[in-house]
Amino acid sequence: MLDESKDILRIEELRAVLRENSRRYYVDNNPMISDFEYDSLMRELEDLEALHPELATPDSPTRKVGSDLETQGFGENAESGIRMDFVQRPHRYPMLSLANTYSISEIEEFAARADKTLGKGFTYCLELKFDGTAICLTYKNGELYRALTRGDGVQGDDVTRNVRMIPNIPLKLRGDFPSDLEIRGEILMPYKDFERLNAEREEAGEIPFANPRNAASGSLKLMDPTQVAHRGLYCTLYHIPAQSVTFSTHDEALKSAAGWGLPVSDNRKICTGITGIKEYIDYWDKERRFLPYATDGIVIKINELEAQRTLGYTSKSPRWAVAFKFKAEQACTRLNSIDYQVGRTGAVTPVANLEPVLLSGTVVKRATLNNEDQMALLDIRVGDYVFVEKGGEIIPKITGVDFSRRTQGLASPVFPTVCPDCGTALIRKEGEAKSFCPNTYSCPQQIKGRILNFMSRKAMNIIGGKSLVDQLVNKGLVKSPADLYYLSKYELLSLEGWKERSAERFLASLQESKQAGFERVLFALGIPFVGETTARTLARHFKSIDRLISAERPELEEVSDVGPVIAPSVIEFLGMESHRDEIERLRAFGLRFEISQESGLLSNALEGKTIVISGNFSVSREQIKELIGQHGGKNSGSVSAKTSFLLAGEKPGPEKLKKCAQLQIPVLDEAAFRAMLPDLGGIAGQARNDAGAVHSVIEPTLF
């Protein structure tokens, strides 16, 4: 009886933990435990419910699909903190999740059951398991009609308007497609776009995403579809419900879908037994590290659709498929100390200093702990031995503590109540995870962060880095970006390590920065949520800072790339007297706060053209991007049907070339591109001479 009581309590505890972490994973996109920990808890609950079948309930996490539905149609976007409304619509066929395992022996059992039930004459289709967020697309008469998230498996959130902004999802099919088609797959964020997005978020003082899966899911639920377009999302499709097609095999269905222009899962393999399955798993356990997107396992499916119908489904997953999940590479090392860093927006982030450890080919010394709540959830203490993984195989994160190695007497860390830099009492707004220092204009770390952002390459491109900014702020020479332009040669020479030549180079860099166009100056101001692309859009739309300051919210929200998050941020920032004073000081030094012939468009030669660049050029890629903008063109990070042409330098990306060939999009080399531009001298004219007189169009059919 005692053991049964313990089991009952444990069942309730497990259900509560799994429900909470399911919500954090699917809705908040902010998981607090690893996939392996979650799956282990789920397996423990399954075992206990099998032991006590009388305690099983229909709403148990073992019987329900993890839900990404926003509560009652409304949700709190963990990324932006704004309320949002998505209409919920039913799935035509239940959209279930896959049973998964980390054990090869359980894959062997799956294969043995299939042999026993189906006999001979069937095959397996093996595919990569993508680490993204599930999507269901419906096409009617060849046109994209609807896109639903998995939701709770019965109904999903309608995200059609956002999905339409994902470049590789066709709005129209081609060829001999069915009049009514449903196809399912995954929305991913490639590593390069994930890194770019996190860099932009850190520059804006926002919390970076833990991994590409969370970034993809959060991006899919953004209120403003124009923001989705710039996130670099990518779709891969891998399942047409067997009830809706007449093909004989799953592989045949996907090949047909590819012929209709749909981005189906590649790297598939057909095999006949467990030996082939094991070989495929072993191969991709190594090779997946070279893929441009995150994968977390292998999916094994019965290939014949009639066999799938025979095997059927449980309440939660199909019986004809199973996922083998790769264990994330993990290391255990000692936590030596915890630093509390203050960002330029005042957010305080705890960072773990670790005994250096090799993980996924790199030495890891530091890992973010995100916030006070995560520290408490981990029950972490300085001196503990902690488990470290790379989230999405990129960002080091602490996933747990090895309590068996904990030394007695270790005290729980105390999150600071005052700013670790300036001593001001921290504030934490209700419902927010981060604590902030409100001493915006006197906190040294916030000052340094704003100045570093202003000097950065994509902003004013002033030479110098963190060590220089530390010197300038610590000496009291600079308190805001405008103070940089007051600096004298004498003041610079008073700094440790400075010589006359270095002072002259820095002052020359300051003078050169005054030639930066309005769009870069606007980006350099550090308006929250306004990244490089949005700054360019705002500058070109309003033409001057004065028009932008006087703009009201409805006018701002009508601008491409601007929505209900960015518009109020711009209004609040430019409405502050201190920020307007800083703008006037910068304007007095000659910085450009309006579009002119010199700082704006040089010509309209590329007007209406969307250009993707790839490879190495005679000048930097940033200069190429700037050149495209100066002549009215628009840069894009990925090839789609909207791409006008691919500008290919030396060693262009093979995937981009392949995509151009599929979509019959022209590929131009640098000389051909420059021949399109008027000869205006300066960088454009000089670089054209460097590139040479010969130009060509590379035929996409060659790739």
pLDDT of residue 645: 92
Q: What is the pLDDT, as a whole number, of residue 299?
A: 95
Confidence check: pLDDT of 394 > 80? no
pLDDT of residue 598: 45
Rounded distance between C-alpha atoms, residue 681 and residue 106, angstroms: 68
**pLDDT computed for residue 701 by the predictor:** 26
d(CA 290, CA 659): 19
Q: Which of 501-510, 612-621, 637-646 shows the highest mean pLDDT?
A: 501-510
**Amino acid 131: pLDDT:** 86
**Can you tell me the distance from the alpha carbon of 102 to that of 385, in angstroms, rounded to the nearest whole number?**
24
Band (pLDDT 50/70/90 cuts) for residue 33 is low
Determine the residue type at 264.
Answer: V
Which of these ranges, 44-48, 263-267, 561-565, has the smallest mean pLDDT?
A: 561-565
Better pLDDT: 137 or 464: 137
pLDDT at res. 391: 53
Q: What is the pLDDT of residue 264?
A: 93
Query: CA-CA distance, 195 to 463, in Å (whole number)?
Result: 24
Nearest to 677 by CA among 643, 642, 633: 633
Tokens of 297: 């396992």
Task: Give the whole-number percent of the chain exceeding pLDDT 70.
Answer: 86
Question: In the prediction, which pLDDT does 242 show?
Answer: 67
**Mean pLDDT, residues 32-53:** 74
Higher pLDDT, 191 or 251: 251
Q: What does the block give as tokens for 285?
A: 């356990």
pLDDT band of 34, cuts 50, 70, 90: low
Q: What percent of the chain has pLDDT over 90?
A: 38
Q: Quick one: pLDDT at residue 81?
A: 36
CB 124, CB 113: distance < 8 Å: no
Q: What's the mean pLDDT in 248-277? A: 93
Task: Calculate mean pLDDT across residues 339-367.
Answer: 85
Q: Is residue 350 within 8 Å of 207, Cβ to Cβ?
A: no
Q: Is the pLDDT of residue 341 over 70?
A: yes
DSSP-derived secondary structure letter, 270: E
pLDDT digits 0-9 by tens, 658-684: 888 888 889 998 888 988 887 654 334
Output 22 or 26, whichever has higher pLDDT: 22
pLDDT on residue 203:
62
Residues 6+ apart with CB under 8 A from 103: none
Question: What residues contact residue 375 under an 8 Å CB cut-off, 6+ apart?
Answer: 350, 369, 413, 415
- Whether the predicted pLDDT of 700 surpasses 90: no
Cα distances (Å, whole numbers) of residue 420 to 450, 465, 471: 18, 22, 19
Arithmetic mean of pLDDT, 162-187 = 92
Which of 418-427, 473-482, 693-702 is predicted least confidently?
A: 693-702
Look at the block and give the residue holding tokens 């054209």: 688
Q: What predicted TM-score, i.e. pTM, was given to this entire model? A: 0.51
pLDDT higher than 70, residue 2: no
Q: Any long-range contacts for 692-696 (C-beta under 8 Å, 24+ apart)?
A: 695/668, 695/669, 695/671, 696/668, 696/669, 696/671, 696/672
* pLDDT at 603 (0 to 100): 75
What number is the average pLDDT over the span 343-353?
Answer: 88
At residue 31 the predicted structure's pLDDT band, cuts being 50, 70 and 90, is: low
* Residue 78: pLDDT over 50: no
- The residue with greater pLDDT, 496 or 9, is 496
Structure tokens at 684: 């454009």
Active site amino acids: 129
- pLDDT value at position 251? 94
Q: In what order do the strands lie in the sheet with 180-188?
A: 143-149, 133-140, 180-188, 234-239
What are 181-211's pLDDT values in tens digits?
Answer: 999 999 999 888 888 887 777 666 566 776 7
| H or E element that contains 182 | strand 180-188
36-40, 239-243, 250-254: segment of lowest average pLDDT: 36-40
pLDDT band at 540 (very low <50, low <70, confident <90, very high): confident
C-alpha distances in angstroms, 605 versus 562, 628, 630, 669, 676?
A: 26, 9, 9, 17, 7
Give the residue with greater pLDDT, 569 vs 14. 569
pLDDT of residue 386: 93
The dihedrals phi and psi of 644, each to the nearest 5 degrees, come to -80, -45
Indicate if the pLDDT at residue 347 is higher than 80: yes
Domains in the chain, start-ordered, CATH in brackets? Answer: 2-64 (1.10.287.610), 74-325 (3.30.470.30), 331-405 (2.40.50.140), 444-588 (1.10.150.20), 610-702 (3.40.50.10190)
pLDDT digits (tens, 9 = 90+) for 285-313: 888 878 888 888 999 999 999 999 888 88
How does strand 395-401 pair with strand 347-359? Answer: unpaired
Query: If we measure between CA atoms, which residue out of 504, 394, 509 comes closest to residue 456?
Result: 509
Do 150 and 200 form a contact (C-beta atoms < 8 A)?
Answer: no
Q: Name the amino acid, one letter, at 165.
A: M
The tokens of 646 are what? Answer: 């691919």
CB-based contact 405:374 (threshold 8 Å): no
User: In angstroms, rounded to a whole number, what is the distance separating the alpha carbons of residues 301 and 250?
Assistant: 9
Contact 360, 329 (CB under 8 A): yes
Q: Looking at residue 690, what is its pLDDT?
A: 37
Q: Report CA Rg, the chain.
A: 28
pLDDT greater than 80 at residue 395: no
Judged against a pLDDT cut of 70, whether residue 85 lies above it is answered with no
Give the model's pLDDT for residue 295. Answer: 87
